[in-house]
Amino acid sequence: MSMFWSFILGLITILFFHYMLINGKRSISDMSTIVHFEIPSDNVDRSKKFYGDLFGWSIDKVPPEKMPDGMEYWMITTTDDKGN
């Protein structure tokens, strides 16, 4: 596994356990749906394909008029275990 993907996996794990701790969760079944997280990427097309193929996520660019000048931001839309 590349250093980049190791970093991403570690970041997701840290965010997951941080969420559980601050919300008093004791197990995964106690968790609600995650509503926001960020994944840095140096290749958006590669990341869109990877996460789309792996998790079925949709990654779309936020319209430039909604962002500060020169800033790009992409939103990830996820689904739950029921496809919602």
Q: What is the pLDDT of residues 22-56, one digit of tens each?
A: 666 665 555 566 666 778 888 889 988 998 888 88
Q: pTM for the complete prediction?
A: 0.51
**Residues with Cβ < 8 Å from 1, sequence gap 6 or more?**
9
Contact 62, 75 (CB under 8 A): yes
Place of tokens 């996460």: 51
